[in-house]
Amino acid sequence: MGRLTASQWEQARADYEVRGISLGDVARTYGVATSSVSRRARAEGWTQGRLQDLAARKVAAVKEMAEVETQTQDLPLRIRHTLQSVVEERLQAEGMLASLDVALAAKAITLAHQATSAADIETLSRARKNLAPAQQAPAQQTTVTVNQQAQAGAAAEAVSIPPAPPTPEGAVRAVLRGALEGDEA
């Protein structure tokens, strides 16, 4: 039987307190004596299954959030944006919006570092656009003649060199700014 690293002891404690497995099962899983696990648990005040309720509540919250997201997807775009604004206003009033923004930014950075292509980065950008409604006033409508459309088409054909894909770090900055090219709403 070998010694456990600090990280392994942390995981053993997590298995005992979150999963609720017995000390004997922890000892077998990590290949140490049950007496060693028992001593450590007593010394550090481990409580079997102490966090099982927290895990169950988190699972229920995730399921509820998934159900709400499914219902939200069926709503017209304007109503989804208004709903998102109301949610942000209420979270801000409760002082939770700042921590939510930090969590979302951290997740975006993680995802951007995992992105392997420009398409992945574009998907991240579009996801941000869908999650964060535009904060600016709606654009004024304009009338475009057939001649103007033809001129715009000819100009677009003349510029056939695609822009270089953004780097992951640049894309994260652009996503957080809401300014990745090609994401006009």
Q: What is the pLDDT of residues 28-44, one digit of tens each?
A: 999 999 999 999 999 99
Give the pLDDT confidence of 92-127 residue by residue, as tens digits: 777 766 666 666 666 666 676 676 666 766 666 666
Same structural domain for residues 96 and 121?
Answer: yes
In order, the DSSP letters of 21-60 are --HHHHHHHHTS-HHHHHHHHHHHT--TTTTHHHHHHHHH
φ, ψ of residue 136 in degrees (nearest 5): -100, 165
With 0.85 as the threshold, say if the pTM is over it: no
Q: Give the end of a domain, one of 32, 58, 74.
A: 74
Task: Look at residue 5 and tell me if it is in a domain.
Answer: yes
Q: Would you give the DSSP letter of residue 136?
A: S
Task: Look at residue 144 and tell me if it is in a domain.
Answer: no
Structure tokens at 148: 């103007």
Same structural domain for residues 65 and 82?
Answer: no
* Number of structural domains the chain divides into: 2
